[in-house]
Homo-oligomer: A and B are copies of this chain.
């Protein structure tokens, strides 16, 4: 009797409230109190005046929790009075959905459309689909959609190019608009170099990142770790299933050789899916015919 795996989707909704403890608590309660949902992390920032929630669970439960949180945000956050350093266009600014287990990207996109439709239907907040869910290539990148922010959106939304994917061509008076979409999990992966030369780190960052001719799913910048007297290539791996971690690390090492610089070590900031690590182990161990079905926990998951 083979049980099927339990499907898991992660969501990282951003709310435009980073100061009022009561409102923040009400939003978090939508996730902590929900059956089948786990609050993995939350980060509130007073300067940004923004709350970032990370939660995961079964799709049906995640949908319920997210809609409950949107309800709270629309009722309690008034964008007309909102000030903060982070750009924003809505009470709920963006809701990304990340397929984690036994969910294809196609399913995650369909799921995001379902939630988006419901947000318009229930709360009358217009929705832009972005990233993998985008209806057009020029709507993939969130900054392009958000340009002009809440204040500018009142006019921008009337432009036929910026007609929302769900909803009328008028912003919600207090809650603005929201971006919803599916995306790959990001892995924050840094590589430390045995030099204090920022010029070297910058040259290597340019070599490995997609933007300037490097790896397709890699963003990279140079960081000065002054306390340690070294520099770092700080990367965001935007699709580790296509551009694995080991490839980025070995490319940094390979480029660093040009400057006679060694790699001291690397670090992962925050969470990483286990298969990102297992794929890199399989590479370094030259494993033959290995599949993730051989991982005990995958057999156990249901």
Contact = CB atoms under 8 A, between A and B. Distances in A.
A22 interface: no
The 10 nearest A-B residue pairs measured at CB: A284-B284, A281-B281, A265-B286, A1-B32, A277-B281, A265-B288, A277-B278, A271-B296, A280-B281, A273-B296
Contacts of A1: 32-33, 39
DSSP majority for the A interface?
mixed
A263 B278 CA distance: 20
A170 B64 CA distance: 61
A245 interface: yes
Contacts of A249: 285
A60 interface: no
Interface string A273-302: 110011011101111111000111111101
A80 B1 CA distance: 33
A56 interface: yes
A58 B202 CA distance: 50
Contacts of A38: 3, 299-300, 302
A43 to B, nearest CB: 15
This protein's copies in its complex? 2
A299 to B, nearest CB: 5
A192 interface: yes
Interface of A: 1, 3, 8, 10, 32-33, 38-40, 56, 100-101, 185, 192, 245-246, 249, 263-268, 270-274, 277-278, 280-282, 284-290, 294-300, 302
Contact of A296 (B267, B274, B288): B274
Nearest to A29: B1
- Counting chain B CB atoms within 10 Å of each CB, which of A192, A267, A289, A300 scores highest? A300
8 contacts: A38-B300, A40-B299, A56-B296, A192-B288, A246-B284, A267-B288, A268-B290, A268-B294
A286 B271 contact: no
Contacts of A298: 274
B278 A284 contact: no
B288 A185 contact: no
A95 B270 CA distance: 39
A40 B285 CA distance: 26
Given A32-B1, A302-B38, A272 B295 contact: yes
